[in-house]
Chain A
Amino acid sequence: MKDMIKSEITNLFENVPETQEVKELQEEMISNAEERYEDLIQRGFTEEQAYTMVMGSIGDIEELLADLGAQTEDAKDGKAKSEYWEKQNEYWEKQCEYWKWQGEYFGKYAKDFAKDFSEQAKGFGQQMEKQAEDLGQQAKEALNAFASSSVFENISNSIKQIISDVGINFQSDDGNYKDMQICNERKFAADGITEIVMELQSSPVDVDIQLTTDPEIFVQELYNKDPKEDQLLQYVVSGKQLKIHFGPNLIGFPRRGIVRVFLPESLAGTLEELKVLTASGDVSLEDVGAAKQVIKTVSGDISGACAIGEVSLGTVSGDIAFESVEGEVQIRTVSGDVKVSKIVGKASVNSASGDVKVGELQGDASFRSASGDVECNLTKAGEKLEVSTASGDVTLALPEEVGVQMTLNTASGDIKTFLDCIATDEAVNYVKNGKRAVGTIGQEPFLKVKVSTASGDIEINR
């Protein structure tokens, strides 16, 4: 990632004459950017997040480039590039805020766990009460402020300004999809393409990826309003990569759109990477196997048939639904629900308020949720299954004939396990006292099941 910062900054200057002055400025920017990156990593951001934030902090370098003797066209290029990174940055900041909060919460929670549970529950209650009181007070003050001043008018004016700046038309019109028409169609030879990257973070377009018997890659753009030439998507084939992204002009962009991508069946399973980033569009895909699949959206839903390989799915408020995922799966959402019928491999799912439901799991998994419920049916045991929630309930089903070592903790919820009834059996070593249950059953190697929750109920079935 650090190398990418260097090359991305160097790229910004690609159209500027390479004078000593330019070389020095580049070196200066790179050294400062790298230090910022190191700092962000220190503060706990992932490499990808830190990278995007660093690129986002560069800002509009058009003036700087023009000053250094770049051609106007190139300067525009630079501006589009920097605007793109700013948008990326905004998106990640939103995501990061949430993960930081969750990280802090879980960190603190884990530390407190060793302490007395009742004490913690009491503190928790008091904190909530205090928070509720504060919020109530805040709401009261805010209402008074609205009632007694021109604040409301100011805010509504500035929102209007933002809307007109961004060029979004907020008039509700559910018939949008009906009015969609094909505005652009493109075909690309599929030979040699192993990476497909769609970066559509700035506008509400849906992405629909399907397989076709056609030998070529075929893309259709549908919008509910005629886009200008420079508002259509841009397609860049470089080497093995096909990259699809927005052009520089997003002002007054059609309010809704669909991008349909038809991939030849011959590509399924041979792709190295499939990456789709959108802001509020839904993403749906057929059985496109790729070694690495990354799909991220802010408010759109993600739905898919079958994914194979390294799969990373993320939304802020959209739901995630997949029929089956095989490989290493990472799912992150804030308020969306997650539902996967079948996971084979290794899964890590984090959710704040969304529910998580895995119909069938074969392998290892780790689930974390704040208020969402977690439900998982393990049919083939891996080494471990870990779940932690704040207030969400946890329901797990384990396969028969597997040695299990379980450690279950709850602060104020109930614990119910299949061992409750057969605790006298010789092969069973099981102790349950109210809020904690520890035990083993069967032979080694044990499947390690660890569940921790603050106020959720725990139910382990077989």
Chain B
Amino acid sequence: MSIASDLLRGNTDTIILASLSERDSYGYLINKEIMAKTEAQIELKDATLYSAFRRLEKDGLVSTYWGDEEVGARRRYYSITDKGREVYEQNKAEWQKAKAMIDSLLV
């Protein structure tokens, strides 16, 4: 699993962008979707998630706004920017390339 966790660490930002490219979302929901997609094998720690959000926001890849929940605590939503979409597509293409390369070396 250590290879997987290394790869995961390197791609946290892209994974979050992938989730946001579908629709605006908030921290726990993003994590829940990641868990659902990977059958609970992958779960981001909160610390990882919030560090990534800060980075993405600083780089202008996501923007953020507060929800207006009437019941319970306010949620902070994230929305992918045009620049974010660009970077996401670029990262995705790079991943495909890298994946093919590593496959050709290992498989």
A59, B73: Cβ atoms under 8 Å? no
From residue A325, how far is it (CB to closest CB) to chain B in Å?
38
**Which residues of B (47-86) have their CB < 8 Å from a CB of A?**
47-48, 50-51, 54, 72-76
B47, A58: Cβ atoms under 8 Å? yes
A28, B76: Cβ atoms under 8 Å? yes
List residues of chain B with CB within 8 A of the CB of A57: 43, 45-46
List residues of chain B with CB within 8 A of the CB of A158: 2
B73, A27: Cβ atoms under 8 Å? yes
List residues of chain A with CB within 8 A of the CB of B26: 28, 31-32
**Is A1 an interface position by the 8 A CB rule?**
no
**Which residues of B (13-52) have their CB < 8 Å from a CB of A?**
26-28, 32, 43, 45-48, 50-51
Q: Quick check: which of A61-69, A373-381, A388-396 contacts chain B, the rest being far away?
A: A61-69
List residues of chain B with CB within 8 A of the CB of A193: none
**Which residues of A (30-86) have their CB < 8 Å from a CB of B?**
30-36, 39, 57-64, 67, 82
| Complex partner residue of A29 from B32, B43, B50, B54, CB under 8 angstroms | B50
Given A36-B28, A67-B54, A31–B47 Cβ distance below 8 Å? Answer: no
**Is A25 an interface position by the 8 A CB rule?**
yes
Across the A-B interface, the 6 shortest Cβ-Cβ residue pairs: A59-B45, A31-B73, A59-B47, A32-B28, A28-B76, A32-B27
B74, A67: Cβ atoms under 8 Å? no
**Is A185 an interface position by the 8 A CB rule?**
no
> Whose C-beta in chain A lies nearest to the C-beta of B69?
A31
> Whose C-beta in chain B lies nearest to the C-beta of A78?
B47
List residues of chain B with CB within 8 A of the CB of A28: 26-27, 50, 75-76
| Complex partner residue of A63 from B46, B51, B73, B76, CB under 8 angstroms | B51
> Whose C-beta in chain B lies nearest to the C-beta of A33?
B46
A31, B46: Cβ atoms under 8 Å? no
How long is the Cα–Cα vector from A112 to B43 in the complex, in angstroms? 36
Contact residues of B: prevailing secondary structure: helix
> Whose C-beta in chain B lies nearest to the C-beta of A36?
B28
> Whose C-beta in chain A lies nearest to the C-beta of B26?
A32
Using a CB–CB cutoff of 8 Å, the interface residues on chain B facing chain A are 2, 26-28, 32, 43, 45-48, 50-51, 54, 72-76
A31, B75: Cβ atoms under 8 Å? yes
Tier of interface size on chain A: 20 to 34
How long is the Cα–Cα vector from A158 to B2 in the complex, in angstroms? 10
Contact residues of A: prevailing secondary structure: helix
List residues of chain A with CB within 8 A of the CB of B50: 25, 28-29, 61, 64
- Which residue among B28, B54, B72 has the maximum number of chain A CB atoms within 10 Å of its CB? B28
Given A59-B48, A64-B50, A67-B51, A24–B43 Cβ distance below 8 Å? Answer: no
A34, B72: Cβ atoms under 8 Å? yes
User: 14 more A-B contacts (CB under 8 A) besides A31-B75, A58-B45?
Assistant: A24-B76, A27-B73, A27-B74, A28-B50, A28-B76, A31-B74, A32-B46, A32-B75, A33-B46, A35-B72, A57-B45, A59-B48, A62-B47, A67-B54
List residues of chain B with CB within 8 A of the CB of A82: 47
A63, B47: Cβ atoms under 8 Å? yes
How long is the Cα–Cα vector from A29 to B43 in the complex, in angstroms? 16
How long is the Cα–Cα vector from A64 to B48 in the complex, in angstroms? 8
How long is the Cα–Cα vector from A57 to B48 in the complex, in angstroms? 10
> Whose C-beta in chain B lies nearest to the C-beta of A61?
B47
| Complex partner residue of B47 from A33, A34, A39, A64, CB under 8 angstroms | A64
How long is the Cα–Cα vector from A67 to B58 in the complex, in angstroms? 12
- Which residue among B26, B45, B47, B48 has the maximum number of chain A CB atoms within 10 Å of its CB? B47
A27, B45: Cβ atoms under 8 Å? no
From residue A94, how far is it (CB to closest CB) to chain B in Å?
16
Q: Can you list 13 pairs linking A and B with CB atoms under 8 Å apart?
A: A27-B73, A28-B50, A28-B76, A29-B46, A31-B74, A32-B27, A32-B28, A35-B72, A36-B28, A58-B45, A59-B48, A60-B47, A61-B46
List residues of chain A with CB within 8 A of the CB of B27: 28-29, 32
How long is the Cα–Cα vector from A29 to B47 in the complex, in angstroms? 9
How long is the Cα–Cα vector from A61 to B43 in the complex, in angstroms? 16
List residues of chain B with CB within 8 A of the CB of A30: 73
B28, A35: Cβ atoms under 8 Å? yes
